[in-house]
């Protein structure tokens, strides 16, 4: 499972947009959101670099580090 800090994620709309973007690339993806901490844990067959790219394309670039 991969974990990403998404500083721009703040609401349910953000969660829905992220879910839609990742499910389009991997229909079997499993996501666990912690909105207050602005993090998401992702279980996917995609590698971290591709997940980060998809998150950025959806408008939620992961924070470095």
Closest CA to 51 of 34, 35, 29: 29
pLDDT digits (tens, 9 = 90+) for 8-49: 999 999 999 999 999 999 999 999 999 999 999 999 999 999
Q: What pLDDT is recorded for position 64? A: 76
Q: Which residues pair with 45 in a beta bridge?
A: none
Q: What pLDDT is recorded for position 20? A: 97
Query: What pLDDT band is residue 55 in, cutting at 50, 70 and 90?
Result: very high
Per-residue HEC secondary structure of 5-58 comes to ECCCCCCHHHHHHHHHHHHHHCCCCEEEEECCCCEEEEECCCCHHHHHHHHHHC
Q: Following CA atoms 48, 58, 37, 49 in sequence, which dihedral angle do they give, to the nearest 10 degrees?
A: 10
Q: What pLDDT is recorded for position 65? A: 57
Q: Which H or E element spans position 60?
A: none
């Amino acid at each position: 499972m991969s974990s990403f800090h998404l500083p721009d994620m703040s609401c349910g709309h953000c969660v829905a947009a992220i879910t839609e973007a990742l499910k389009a690339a991997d229909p079997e993806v499993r996501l666990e959101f912690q909105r207050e901490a602005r993090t998401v844990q992702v279980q996917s067959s995609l590698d971290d670099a591709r997940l980060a790219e998809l998150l950025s394309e959806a408008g939620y670039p992961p924070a470095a580090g």
